[in-house]
Structure formats: structure tokens, C-alpha cells
């Protein structure tokens, strides 16, 4: 290992030791560290889908362009309503080499859906008093070379940081995986120019969440993967979830990553970076995560409201909150979701919070268009369940815009 890397790791160790000691009263240093797992159900509930309207809805979801009708889809689907699962199925192969099929209990990489965990964990730390999202990032990562970027700007993708995924390979010649410290080292060494003044616009960048992963480590004194295990996965009974570390050995099978032609997608040096991606989980565990966010047992109502408040103007239909993508509609409605794509892994996790309606689609074989099926499932369910008319005045406004445009054309033609 190069001298600068040894020095950087030693300085980080001293920083973590000092920071953790100075926060001796924190939950991480006390006997009250764990979240009460008794507040969260160990098992998910299922609706009786042999009765109407769930029977008919189940059958119609089956006919949507997913695994039951599309042999190219390789993954799992889960739909929940009012705390109960109303549809779940797994399709295709998790590991073709050994003939292992996908199952609802088999972990798969959820890629950027990881950001929902990272962002919410940061909000949990704020609620407990260990950071403030209005703080400068440099308060917790002293090496961070940009003085005016805040934690909230990382969360909302308004920092102006370039995306390390697009360029890190140019500065990484090792055959070993690159971790978050190395991402930080590239930014401190080369001081990449910001794309814009922090806070002035939105630009999705995985670097934001790689640095949030580091902040979680600096504040807690724990590795990101251990923090997630202790404060989210274990208390929420997410027993098939973990943060992937290429240096670890896994005795169990997870769903392999495949190209469209079923060639296996190998790991790259960037698979060591976490926070922006890296969580392996299941559709059922994501439903447990979803349900935990409906109670005040994990985050209080004020924090939840802040977490799911869009940071862009409401007329930006594709919006972003703090760790969550948002769809905002002209009639004031909204829903939260996040997509994921890394190698052959794809997915979407949609939370229609007003109706407590949840859709999880996870795939370990790359095919285009699967995330569009989330809204198709919602529209289908609206025929059977009393769901909110999210789009409401949307079509009316589109028609008004078209009529207005037509009037302008007529005026010009005159």
C-alpha cells in the first residue's frame, strides 16, 4: 500500500477514536444502543387473495408485463396494501450455474435503492442529536476539500459534486476494490471542480451518497455495514439483508448479476464503494423497511415529513427529497420511490404513502423498462381498491396546455 494511503488510514483511525470518545454519551457508546426490535413485527402479513377484490387484482397483476407473461424477466415482485402483502412471486434463475431459482428470501443487489437506507440513517442520526443536516460536510469529514457543501445538499443531490462512477477508473490502477476512503482521496488529491454553486440546482451524483456513508462512519465510530446491520437490519428483522463487501466471504448464495443474454456480470473496482449502492436484500425485507417508515417507532413524524419533502419546485414532476426520488403532481399529491441499476441488477421500490400501497420489483437480469411496471401496477390496483387519484388534474392541465398552445399557433398563423 502506498505511503499516503497508510498515512490517511492512520489519521482516520485517530479521528474516529477522538470523535467517538468525545461522544461518549451517544447511543453508540452506551448500553441503550440497540433499537427495540419488539416494536417491529418479525413476520410480514398476507392478505387473503382467494377473496374479492384481491383475487381478481392478483390475477390481473399476473398478466402485467412481468415474470408471469415475460420470460425475459428474472427477479421478484411484491405488492403490499395497508400493511399486508397482496401479491408476491419470484421468477427465473438466481444462479444458472447451479440451477438455483430466484426466491422471495434470496438476497439481490438493489443498487441505488440503497440510498433510501443511507439517507434515512442520516435523518435518524439527526433526530438523535448526533448531527445536523445543515452542518457543513467538513465538520465530520475534515479532509473534504469543499468548504460550503452541507449534508443536506448531499442528501438532495444539490452539492455540485461530480459522479465518481464516471471517472474513478482513471485514477485507480489497483486490482483491489476501491472503497469510500479512496473516493475521498481522489477528491482531496485532484480537487475536481464543482459543476455548479452548491444549493443552486439538482444533479444526481453517486459521490454524494458515498460521502454520506463516510459521515455515518465518522459519527457512529462503526463501519457502514455494521451500522446498517445493528440499527436497521437486525431490529427490523430484515434477516436476508446485508451490505456487500468484496473482501468478505459469503457462505450463502445471493442472486447473481446477468446481462440480457445471461452472461454473468463480474464485479469491478467500484463494488467496494457503499452508501450509494451495495445493499443486498429481498422484496420481503424491503416491505419490512417500508412498514417501519409508517410508524413513529423508527423516525418521528417530524423527521419523516422532512425526509419525504421534495427539495425541488413542485412543478418538477421528477423530484428528489432526502434519499428518495419523488413524483409530484399538479393536484398536490406525491409519492416516494427509488430506482436502482448496477451491473445487471435493476429495481424499483415505490411507496404510495397516502394509501400505504407499496410496490417492489427487483431483477438480477438486465432488461429495459421494468420500472415502468410500477405505475402500471398502481393504475391496475386503482380499479379494484380505493386508491388516491394521484394524477388528478394532470390530464386536464395537459389538455389546457395543448389548447393554449393551439391558440398561440392560430394567432401566429393569422
Q: What is the pLDDT of residue 172?
A: 87
d(CA 412, CA 355): 46
Q: Are strands 279-281 and 108-109 parallel, antiparallel or unpaired?
A: antiparallel
Please calculate the CA angle 289-291-294 and round it to the nearest 5 degrees.
115
Does residue 134 have a cis bond before it (omega within 30 degrees)? no
Of residues 411 and 80, the one with the higher pLDDT is: 80
Segment 321-366, tens digit of pLDDT: 999 999 999 888 999 999 999 999 999 999 999 999 999 999 999 9
pLDDT of 20 strictly over 80? no
Q: What is the pLDDT of residue 14?
A: 54
d(CA 51, CA 45): 16
Report the candidate in 204, 132, 106 with the shortest Cα–Cα distance to residue 163: 204
Q: What is the pLDDT of residue 16?
A: 52
Q: What is the pLDDT of residue 153?
A: 98
Q: What is the pLDDT of residue 140?
A: 97
| % of the chain surpassing 70 pLDDT | 86
Three-state secondary structure string covering 172-185: CCCCCCCCHHHHHH
Indicate the DSSP class of residue 18: H
Report the candidate in 164, 149, 146, 154 with the shortest Cα–Cα distance to residue 123: 154
Q: What is the pLDDT of residue 31?
A: 35
Q: What is the pLDDT of residue 34?
A: 65
pLDDT of 168 strictly over 80? yes
Rounded to an integer, the average pLDDT of 359-378 is 92
For residues 117 and 127, the answer to whether their CB atoms sit within 8 Å is no
Please calculate the CA angle 163-167-168 and round it to the nearest 5 degrees.
95
User: Please, which pLDDT band fits residue 10 given cuts at 50, 70 and 90?
Assistant: low
d(CA 95, CA 129): 44
Segment 48-92, tens digit of pLDDT: 999 999 999 999 999 987 887 888 899 999 999 999 999 999 999
User: Please, which pLDDT band fits residue 175 given cuts at 50, 70 and 90?
Assistant: confident
d(CA 3, CA 210): 23
The structure's pTM equals 0.88
pLDDT of 396 strictly over 50? no
List the grid coordinates of 325.
426520488
pLDDT of 28 strictly over 50? yes
Q: What is the pLDDT of residue 367?
A: 87
With b meaning 16 or more CB within 10 Å and e meaning fewer, what string describes 301-339?
Answer: eebbebbbebbbeeeeeebbbbbbbbbbbbeebbbbbbb
Amino acid at each position: 500500500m502506498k505511503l499516503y494511503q497508510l498515512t490517511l488510514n492512520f489519521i482516520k483511525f485517530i479521528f474516529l477514536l477522538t470523535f467517538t470518545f468525545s461522544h461518549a454519551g451517544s447511543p453508540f457508546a452506551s448500553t441503550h444502543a440497540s433499537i427495540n426490535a419488539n416494536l417491529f413485527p418479525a413476520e410480514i402479513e398476507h392478505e387473503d387473495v382467494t377473496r374479492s377484490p384481491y383475487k381478481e387484482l392478483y390475477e390481473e397483476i399476473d398478466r402485467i408485463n412481468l415474470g408471469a407473461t415475460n420470460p425475459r424477466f428474472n427477479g421478484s415482485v411484491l405488492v403490499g396494501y395497508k400493511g399486508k402483502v397482496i401479491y408476491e412471486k419470484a421468477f427465473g434463475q438466481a444462479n444458472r450455474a447451479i440451477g438455483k431459482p430466484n426466491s422471495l428470501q434470496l438476497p439481490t443487489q438493489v443498487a441505488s435503492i440503497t440510498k433510501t437506507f443511507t439517507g434515512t440513517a442520516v435523518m435518524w442520526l439527526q433526530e438523535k442529536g448526533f448531527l445536523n443536516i445543515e452542518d457543513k460536510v467538513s465538520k465530520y469529514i475534515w479532509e473534504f476539500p469543499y468548504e460550503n457543501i452541507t449534508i443536506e445538499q448531499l442528501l438532495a443531490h444539490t452539492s455540485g459534486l461530480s459522479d465518481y462512477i464516471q471517472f474513478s477508473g482513471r485514477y485507480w490502477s489497483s486490482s483491489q476494490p476501491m472503497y469510500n476512503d479512496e473516493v475521498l482521496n481522489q477528491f482531496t488529491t485532484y480537487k475536481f471542480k464543482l459543476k455548479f454553486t452548491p444549493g443552486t440546482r439538482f444533479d444526481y451524483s453517486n459521490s454524494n451518497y458515498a460521502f454520506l456513508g463516510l459521515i455515518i462512519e465518522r459519527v457512529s465510530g462503526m463501519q457502514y455495514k455494521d451500522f446498517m446491520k445493528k440499527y436497521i437490519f437486525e431490529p427490523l428483522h430484515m434477516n436476508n439483508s446485508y451490505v456487500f463487501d468484496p473482501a468478505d466471504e459469503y457462505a450463502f448464495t445471493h442472486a447473481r448479476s446477468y446481462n440480457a443474454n445471461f452472461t454473468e456480470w463480474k464485479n469491478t473496482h467500484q463494488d467496494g464503494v457503499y452508501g450509494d449502492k451495495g445493499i443486498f436484500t429481498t422484496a420481503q425485507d424491503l416491505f419490512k423497511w417500508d412498514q417501519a417508515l409508517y410508524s413513529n417507532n423508527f423516525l418521528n413524524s417530524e423527521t419523516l415529513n422532512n425526509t419525504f419533502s421534495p427539495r425541488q419546485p413542485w412543478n418538477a414532476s421528477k423530484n428528489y427529497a432526502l434519499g428518495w426520488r419523488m413524483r409530484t403532481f399538479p393536484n398536490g399529491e406525491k409519492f416516494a420511490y427509488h430506482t436502482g441499476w448496477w451491473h445487471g441488477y435493476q429495481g424499483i421500490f415505490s411507496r404510495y404513502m397516502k394509501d400505504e400501497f407499496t410496490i417492489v420489483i427487483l431483477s438480477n437480469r438486465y432488461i429495459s423498462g421494468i420500472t415502468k411496471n410500477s405505475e402500471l401496477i398502481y393504475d391496475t390496483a386503482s380499479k379494484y381498491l380505493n386508491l388516491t387519484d394521484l394524477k388528478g388534474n394532470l390530464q386536464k392541465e395537459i389538455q389546457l396546455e395543448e389548447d393554449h398552445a393551439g391558440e398561440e399557433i392560430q394567432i401566429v398563423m393569422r
